[in-house]
Structure 1
Amino acid sequence: MKMTSLKLKKILQERLSDARYHTSYNRDKDTFRIEWKESKQGMTITLPNVVAKYNERGDEAIEELVDHVTEALRIMNETQQLAGMEKNIYPVIRATSFPDKTKANKELVNKEHTAETRIFYALDLGKSYRLIDKALLEEEGWTEERIHEIASFNLRSLDCDYNKDTVAGNDFYFIAKQDGYDASRILNEAFLEEMKANIKGEMAVAVPHQDVFIIADIQNKTGYDILAQMNMKFFAEGRIPITSLPLIYEDRKLEPVFILAKNKPENS
């Protein structure tokens, strides 16, 4: 059966049928919205995007969407708290362009990282997570320093096993655990220093999207070009893109670089 937006709308109405939900279809924008009747909180789905995924992956794409929507709506309707959930708090890396407020206009707790990246904080809820906002901190009397310390401690408990690939004499290490915090490993300074001690050439890292962290041991002139191409490909394919620019790691500092012609890096 050829999928269309109208057919998809009907499928979603059936699959997400619940007396507590209100659904609506915007014909002009070709979007489908589902929200809690009482709070009006919900989400809007751009139907052509899902149709495209269906054409690639079939029913799996719809199953994935329904799971995602159901989980998101559940979280929206629950009251979360931080006390007693300390072990479920982690830092997440996002692009500097990432919104610092929720759709409900609540300011998210965040911290500077590099010229390309910022640190936000997530309360892990199992299948999904909630970014922590300042209102939640105030409700529980927590400081931003406390949330950062707890998240950093929990991050260090995540394993940093990697896969290694050698291309044209340069070594590339990939962490892709699919736990939501792959890119967050860039904040594990002890791990970065451990890798630096074993690097033969120059050390560069990349966080093209949330679900991968790349460390590069650049040993010859083509290394930077390979890293740039690799990073751009990951960036284009990522579910939550972060930055297409690699970062040089030197003296415990991260500096974004543009990869120019002749394989020469230049600080951004």
Structure 2
Amino acid sequence: MAMNSIKMKKLLDDRFNNPEWRTSFNRDKDVYRVEWQDTHQGISITVPNVIAKYEQSGENAIDELVYHVEESLKMMHVKQELEGKEKQIYPVIRSTSFPKKTKAGVKMVYSDHTAETRIYYALDLGHTYQLIDQKMLDTEGWTLERLKEISMFNVRSLSTETKVDQVAGNNFYFIATRDGYDASRILNEAFLEEMRLNAVGELAVAVPHQDVLILVDVQNEMGYDILAQMTMQYFAEGRVPITSLSFIYENKHLEPIFILAKNKPTNENETKKDE
């Protein structure tokens, strides 16, 4: 018998049966919600999306959903402090379309990066992390500069071991540890400088989604075309997509590029502006 919204709602009711939580189902919007009884903070789940994943992966899809919802609910219910947790603070890369405020209207803490990307800051909680907002910063009496300095120090401590593939005479390097900070390694300037110094051609860099950093020693025009196709594919498949554009790294600067029909990189500085 095919799965439908009502059956899925009953399945989710069973899995989220907790006296401290309240569940509800909006039939008009096909949205299931789980929230804390006392604070009403919670997670809204689009049921058709869950059904689609269930039809592909069965119970594994529900197990994964329950795990992520439970982790997120726990994170909402615990007051997070920064003091004493300096080693757990990391920068995370997001697109410039990522919200600048929380749903509660609190300003997120972020720094400018490129025309396509922005740097946010996260407190690592083990299996997940919490993005740091202005309220958390004010409570601790921290400045953005202190937060930035701590996070950049920590990102430099992350492994930069790469997997290497040679495609059409171009060397492609991948970091995909899935520790939540793969794309963040683009902020490790010493690493980028080392890669640039050892490159035969130009060094191109891409962060299509949170869980991968791609670096390419581009030695011919085909390299740009392959990178463009690869970045677009990764961007479409990423759990937390960032940007489908790639960058040229030169003189300690990242310049967004796009690929024309003749596989030639073109400066996009005049057409892309910071939001």
Q: Distance in 2 between matches of 1:217 and 1:7?
A: 51
Q: Distance in 1 between matches of 2:140 and 2:82?
A: 7
Q: Distance in 2 between matches of 1:12 and 1:78?
A: 24
Which range moved further: 184-193 or 33-42?
33-42
Q: Distance in 2 between matches of 1:192 and 1:242?
A: 19
Partner of 1:110 in structure 2? 110
Q: How far does residue 221 in structure 1 lie from its aligned partner after superposition?
A: 1.5
Spell out, residue by residue over 1:26-70, the C-alpha distance to the aligned partner (whole angstroms, 9 max, x if none): 111111011111111001000111111111111111100000011
Q: Partner letter of residue 248 of structure 2?
A: I
Q: How far does residue 5 in structure 1 lie from its aligned partner after superposition?
A: 1.9
SS in 2 for 1:147: helix
Partner of 1:234 in structure 2? 234
Partner of 2:261 in structure 1? 261
Once the two structures are aligned, what percentage of the paired residues are identical?
A: 62
State whether residues 205 and 214 of structure 2, in contact with CA within 8 Å, keep that contact through their aligned partners in structure 1.
yes
Q: How far does residue 20 in structure 1 lie from its aligned partner after superposition?
A: 1.4
Q: Partner letter of residue 256 of structure 1?
A: P
Q: CA RMSD in A?
A: 0.8
Partner of 2:272 in structure 1? none
Gap regions ≥5 residues in structure 2: 269-275
Spell out, residue by residue over 1:224-253, the C-alpha distance to the aligned partner (whole angstroms, 9 max, x if none): 000000000000000000000000101110
Q: How far does residue 3 in structure 1 lie from its aligned partner after superposition?
A: 2.3
Partner of 2:81 in structure 1? 81
Q: How far does residue 105 in structure 1 lie from its aligned partner after superposition?
A: 1.0
Q: Distance in 2 between matches of 1:4 and 1:84?
A: 48
Q: Distance in 2 between matches of 1:261 and 1:202?
A: 19
TM-score by length of 2: 0.96
State whether residues 204 and 217 of structure 2, in contact with CA within 8 Å, keep that contact through their aligned partners in structure 1.
yes
Q: Partner letter of residue 255 of structure 1?
A: E
Gap regions ≥5 residues in structure 1: none
Q: Partner letter of residue 74 of structure 1?
A: K
Aligned residues: 268
Partner of 1:51 in structure 2? 51
Spell out, residue by residue over 1:94-121, the C-alpha distance to the aligned partner (whole angstroms, 9 max, x if none): 0000001111111110000000000000
Alignment of 1:43-192 (within 5 A): 43-192=43-192
Q: Distance in 2 between matches of 1:87 and 1:5?
A: 43
Spell out, residue by residue over 1:109-149, the C-alpha distance to the aligned partner (whole angstroms, 9 max, x if none): 00000000000000000111100001111111100000000
Partner of 1:208 in structure 2? 208
SS in 2 for 1:90: strand
Q: How far does residue 2 in structure 1 lie from its aligned partner after superposition?
A: 3.0
Partner of 2:27 in structure 1? 27
Q: Distance in 2 between matches of 1:69 and 1:221?
A: 45
Q: Distance in 1 between matches of 2:75 and 2:6?
A: 28
